[in-house]
Amino acid sequence: MADPRNVDIKDQPGFRTIAIICVALLYVPILILMIFSFNTGSLVTHWEGVGFGWYGSALLNEEFHHAAENTLIISVTATIISTICATLAAIGMTRVKPWRGLPAAFMVINLPLMVPEIITAVATLSFFALIAGAFGLNFGIGNLVLAHTVFCIPFAYMPIRARLEDRDLTLESAAADLYATPWNAFKRVTLPLLVPGIMSGGALAFIVSFDDFTITQLVAGPGQTTLPLYIWDQIKRPMTPEINAISTILLLVSILFVSISFLIARRRAK
């Protein structure tokens, strides 16, 4: 009888067929969308020729510019804050001796990954409504920044924690033995070790915020349209291949940042 530990799932009957079907169902619709973004006609599903006209139309669209500006403001700000918080949390949970409540802290940090996003969105909306009703406070676009920051922290935290987890705690002790202050030990020992993890986590947090729809849809106020919300609004109108072009641009940005995060993580592993 074969040892189960030596069985490769890829050798199981039907595995390759199922894998190909799953990949096709996931990516063929996206490929079709990208192809039709180069359509010269005005219909989304009727091919009339190859051209870049709809990309030019999208780049000259003022509503697209406004949505892109809001998206970048929210995503960049949320990425910076969430990455800083994730870095501090990772240091406090890996570069010290185990302390009581560490598992609970880990669970709280990663809770947004486990809770359905719609529940997080409703809870966030209720929280901001309570704050506005009780204290008359409305942070405007800051509501979206705060919501995205909290949601992005675990995505930034995991790569940073992985970077620190396999590092010996004696590194900082050795720096202290060489008369380094805690700040110098952090700056010259811990931080250089963290840079790849911070870059990977930051790229992942950025694209999570950049692409978020559910939380943004519930929390956003008037005039706070982001790119995902703009695309959703355009779907309700007579559609043209311009929406395909905008979607393709967002897809390429997502692929870029996910690839950056993956390549940094891969280099770190080596």
Task: For residue range 29-79, list pLDDT tens digits in order.
Answer: 888 888 888 888 877 777 888 888 888 888 888 888 899 999 999 999 999
Selected residue with higher pLDDT from 143 and 269: 143
Q: End-to-end distance of the chain based on CA atoms, in angstroms?
A: 36
The structure's pTM equals 0.81
pLDDT of residue 75: 93
3-state secondary structure of 39: strand
Position 256 pLDDT exceeds 80: yes
pLDDT in tens, 29-41: 888 888 888 888 8
Q: Specify the CATH class of 54-269 in words.
A: mainly alpha
Q: How high is the mean pLDDT of the chain? A: 83
Is residue 207 within 8 A of residue 258, CB to CB? The reply is yes
Domain ranges in the chain? 54-269
**Are 157 and 201 contacting, i.e. CB atoms less than 8 angstroms apart?**
yes
